[in-house]
Amino acid sequence: MTKEADYRANAANSIELANRASSMSDKGRFLELAEKWLDLADRAHRLTQRFAPSRWQHPLLRSKLGDEIHPDAE
């Protein structure tokens, strides 16, 4: 499972807990937590798109640097 999927699952769990909560303050806290999980999921999605392997597989890069380049290799 990806980080994004994990964060979205945590958001769904937080919403489920909010639905079960008896007090309005608890519901509000769980919904705030769900929002934060969704923000993290969106950030993870943007980062995944930004550093997608397809960018590193451009033919010009591969011809100059070889087939062994990887975005996370240092």
Instruction: Determine the pLDDT at residue 16.
Output: 98
At 45, list the tokens: 């999605």
Indicate if the pLDDT at residue 61 is higher than 70.
no
CA distances from 61 to 17, 24, 65 (A): 48, 55, 6
pLDDT category at 51 given cuts 50, 70, 90 is confident
pTM of the model: 0.68
Domain residue spans in the chain? 3-65
Indicate if the pLDDT at residue 65 is higher than 90.
no
At 12, list the tokens: 């769904």
pLDDT category at 55 given cuts 50, 70, 90 is low
Instruction: Determine the pLDDT at residue 1.
Output: 83
